[in-house]
Structure 1
Amino acid sequence: MQTCSERSESIPLVDLKKQYLSIKDEIDLAVKKVLESGHFILGNEVLSLEREVAEYIGVKHAIGVASGTDALHLSLLAYGIGEGDEVITTPFSFIATAEAISYCGAKPVFVDIDINSYNIDPAIIEGKVTKRTKAIIPVHMYGRAAEIDKILEIAKKYNLKVIEDCAQAFGTEYKDKKIGGIGDIGAFSFFPSKNLGAYGDGGIIVTDDKDIADKIMMLRVHGSKQKYIHQMVGYNSRLDEIQAAILRVKLKKIDEWNELRRKNSSIYNNLLNKLPVQLPKEAGKSHIYHVYTIRIKNRDEFIKFLSENGISSAIHYPVPIPAQEAYRYLNYSESDLPNSYKAASEVISLPMFPELKREEIEKVCDVVKSFINK
C-alpha cells in the first residue's frame, strides 16, 4: 500500500525486515530454488501458488498477475466493460480502484462510505444504478469486509457484476466465507506492505468462472494461449516465479499473522477506548486490520506529536478519489460524499504488524493519551 506521511522512527508503521527475519531460512531456500531452476516467469511456483490460493479462498481458479491494479483492470476487461459503461465504487480508497475503471474507458461512479466501517454504503448504491452500469467494485477497506451480501442483492436485481477489491484483506471472512470468493471475481494485491505481501509487485485474481479465468490467462500474456499465437490484444501482466515462491512461504503463515493483527487491535482498543477518538469497530474474522486506523481531530498536530515521540504514522487516505486532480472532471463535491471527506480529514493509521509487541502498543497509546490530555 502506498502511504502518506510515513517516517522511519523507533516504532515503525510496518516492519517488513522483522517479518523476513522470522522466516528467513524458508524464504532464502525458496528463492535459491527458483534461481537454480533457471525458470523465472510463469513456472511451477506460480502454478502452485495459484492452486494454493484457489484452495484457500474456496474457488476453482486463481490467476497470478503483475499487480493488484492489473488484477482489477484485467477483471473488468474480461467482463467486456469498456467505453460508455459505468462502474460503481467507493471514493475512499487508493486511486488504483478508480484507475482500473478508467483504463477500460468506463466511468467510475462514486458512492459514499459508511463512516463507521469506511466501506461503500450499500444503502446508497441502488440510487446510483443507471442503464449504463455494468459492475460494482466494493473495497474491503483496511481489511474489513464490506457488506457483500447486500451488494450482491443489488447486483442480482440489475444484472451487474461484483468485482471485489481485496487488496487490503487477504484472509478476511464474511459470514464464514473468504472474501474474494463471494462476488463474481476477487482481485488481490501482493504489494510488499499488504498483510500477504511479496518482495516486489504482484497480484492475483480468483473466480469460479472458467471462461473468465481462461480469458484473463490470455490477457495477462499478450492475448495468447500459445506462444506467438495471439487471439486478442493483451498485456504483459505476469507474476514472476521468485515472488510466487516467496508468497507460498508466507501463505502458510497468513492465518497466524492475521490473528496476531486482531490481537494487537484488541490491545489498542482496550487501551484507547475511553479517549475521544473514533476506534475501529470489532468485527471478528470479518476484519484482519491490514492497518489500524483511528479518527482524531487536529490530525496534523497529532502526526507531528507522534513523530516527535518516535511513533510512525500514515494517512490512508488524505484526499477522496474524486477530489484528486485526475478525477475533478467528474464534478463531485463534498456535499455529494460527506462521509468520505470527513474520513479523509480525520483518519490516521498507527503502527500495525503481526510482530508488534505489547509494550510497543502501550508506548503508542501512552503518546496518544499524552496528546489528548496536554
Structure 2
Amino acid sequence: MFVHPQFKIFSLKPFLRGFSEIELRNKLAKFFPRCYIVFTDSGRSAFQVAIEELGLKNSEMLVPAYLCDIFLPIFEHYHIGPIYLDIDLKNFNIQIPEIEKRITPETKSILISHTYGFPNDMDKISEIAKKHNLKIIEDCAHSFGIKNQSKYLGNSGDAAFFSLSKFIPSINGGFLVSRNPIDINLGEYKFRLTNLIKFVRLFPYLAKFSEKLRKEEKTLAIKDYSEPRKASKISLKIFNRYLDNFGEQAQKRIKLARYFQEKLNKIGFQTSPGITHISALVPQNMNRDELFNKLRKKHIFCSHIWHKPIYPNLSNTAEAAKRIINFPLQNWFTEKDIDKIITGILSKKD
C-alpha cells in the first residue's frame, strides 16, 4: 500500500488511447469557468509561471511555514522574500489573523496552500488581499475537485496551480489556472530518469519490488531552479481519462476518507479534515518514525513529507513536522484495506 496514486492493475491502456487537448480543456472549463489554463511539467513549474505572469519578481510573499522545500530555489531565483506564517494544527492551513500582522510595504502577494485538500476561508483572505492590494496564488496541489462553498478551489485568487501526480496515477504534470490570458513560451517536455522510476511505481505489484528505487529517485530529484516546461502528453492523457469518472471517484473517496478518519480518531490520532489525503498527527505518546518503520515492514508505505520544515521557528509548524504521518488511500481501496492499516497500527509486533 502506497501514498502516491496508483493504478489497481498493470494496464497500458491509459497511455495508448487517443487524446485531444481541446477535449481536456472543455472538461476543465466546468471546474474553472472564465479562466485561462496552461499545462506544465509539474505544479512547481505552474507556480513559476504564476510568478512571472503576476509580475512578482523582487518582492515579498506571505507563505505558509508548513511548505515543501522545493519552493526555496524558486524564491531565490525570482528574488522573492518569503514571509512565513504559522499554521493551525486543526487543519494545517495558515492562521488567517496573522496575515495583516506580517504585511510590509514590500509585500505584493500571498501563497494560500489548501493543505491536504482542506479549503481555507477564501472570502476572508480575499477581503484582506483586496484591502492591501495583494495578489493571491492558490496552491491546489492537494485540492483538485474540492469545493469551497459553491465553487471549486482555484477560482478565488488571481492564479492557482495544481500537481497531477498528487491526485492521479501520473508520471508528472501540472497546470496553472489564471484569471487573465497567459502569455509564455514553455520549453518542450524533457524526459528524465526519475520519470521512469515514477512510472514503475504507478503499479502496486511493481512498486513493491522497486521501493529501493526511492533513494535513487530522491538523489535524482531536482532541488535547484529549473525552467518550466510543457506537460507530457502521457500525463495529460491520463488526466483526461480520469475526468470521465470524476464524480463517481470523488464520492467514493469521500466515503472512504471519512471512514478512515473516524477509525484513526478513535485510536488517538488527530486527523486533517481534508479528504484528498489521509494525514494525521500521531498521538503524543507515540513515536512517529517508529510507527512509520513498523508499517513499512508490513508493506504499508506511509510518508512524512515536510518532516524538516523550511522555517522551524514557528511552534505549530515544528510540531506538525515532528508528528505528521500520511497514510495510503487509493481510489480503488475498500473498507477492508483501511481496516488492514488500522490493524497494522495497533499491532504490538513489527
The alignment's TM-score, normalised by the length of structure 2, stands at 0.81
**Cα distance in 1 between the residues matched to 2:326 and 2:76:** 28
Query: After the TM superposition, which residues 197-212 of structure 1 pair with which residues of structure 2 at under 5 Å, given as runs?
Result: 197-198=169-170, 200-210=171-181
**Cα distance in 2 between the residues matched to 1:338 and 1:164:** 24
Aligned-pair distance for 1:97?
3.8
Aligned residue in 2 for 1:164: 138
Amino acid at match of 1:158: H
Query: After the TM superposition, which residues 292-311 of structure 1 pair with which residues of structure 2 at under 5 Å, given as runs?
Result: 292-296=279-283, 297-311=286-300
CA contact (8 A) 1:91 1:340 kept: yes
Query: After the TM superposition, which residues 124-143 of structure 1 pair with which residues of structure 2 at under 5 Å, given as runs?
Result: 124-143=98-117
CA contact (8 A) 1:62 1:205 kept: yes
Q: Secondary structure at the match of 1:87?
A: strand
Equivalent of residue 48 in structure 1, options 12, 20, 23? 23
CA contact (8 A) 1:257 1:354 kept: yes
Equivalent of residue 239 in structure 1, options 205, 228, 231? 231
How many percent identity over aligned positions?
26
Equivalent of residue 278 in structure 1, options 264, 270, 279? 270
CA contact (8 A) 1:72 1:97 kept: no
Q: Secondary structure at the match of 2:30?
A: helix
Amino acid at match of 1:359: K
The alignment's TM-score, normalised by the length of structure 1, stands at 0.76
Aligned-pair distance for 1:190?
1.5
Deviation string 1:41-94 (CA, Å, 9 cap, x unpaired) is xxxx334323322332334311112210011111011111112x1001111122
Aligned-pair distance for 1:14?
4.0
CA contact (8 A) 1:46 1:241 kept: no
Gaps of at least 5 residues in structure 2 are 189-225
Query: After the TM superposition, which residues 24-39 of structure 1 pair with which residues of structure 2 at under 5 Å, given as runs?
Result: 25=13, 27-30=14-17, 33=18
Aligned-pair distance for 1:29?
4.3
Deviation string 1:168-202 (CA, Å, 9 cap, x unpaired) is 111111011100111111111123xx11353x221
Equivalent of residue 337 in structure 2, options 360, 364, 370? 360
Give the direction of change, closer, same or farther, for the CA distance of 1:245–1:305 in structure 2 (3 Å limit): closer
Q: Secondary structure at the match of 2:229?
A: coil
Gaps of at least 5 residues in structure 1 are 1-10, 35-44, 223-233, 282-286, 324-332
Counterpart check, 1:12 vs 2:2 = yes
CA contact (8 A) 1:292 1:351 kept: no
**Cα distance in 1 between the residues matched to 2:112 and 2:333:** 29
Aligned residue in 2 for 1:342: 319
Equivalent of residue 195 in structure 1, options 162, 167, 170? 167
**Cα distance in 2 between the residues matched to 1:208 and 1:248:** 22
Q: Which moved more, 1:49-58 or 1:152-161?
A: 49-58
CA contact (8 A) 2:65 2:317 kept: yes
Counterpart check, 1:319 vs 2:308 = yes
Give the direction of change, closer, same or farther, for the CA distance of 1:303–1:60 in structure 2 (3 Å limit): closer
Aligned-pair distance for 1:163?
0.4
Aligned residue in 1 for 2:191: none
Q: Secondary structure at the match of 2:280?
A: strand
Q: Secondary structure at the match of 2:154?
A: coil
**Cα distance in 1 between the residues matched to 2:5 and 2:54:** 38
Equivalent of residue 179 in structure 1, options 153, 161, 169? 153
**Cα distance in 1 between the residues matched to 2:324 and 2:261:** 16
CA contact (8 A) 2:281 2:320 kept: no
Q: Secondary structure at the match of 1:16?
A: coil
**Cα distance in 1 between the residues matched to 2:328 and 2:147:** 23
Equivalent of residue 254 in structure 2, options 258, 262, 282? 262
Query: After the TM superposition, which residues 46-125 of structure 1 pair with which residues of structure 2 at under 5 Å, given as runs?
Result: 46-83=21-58, 85-125=59-99
Aligned-pair distance for 1:356?
1.4
CA contact (8 A) 1:91 1:111 kept: yes
Q: Which structure's CA Rg is the greater one?
A: 1
Amino acid at match of 2:76: S
Aligned-pair distance for 1:204?
0.7
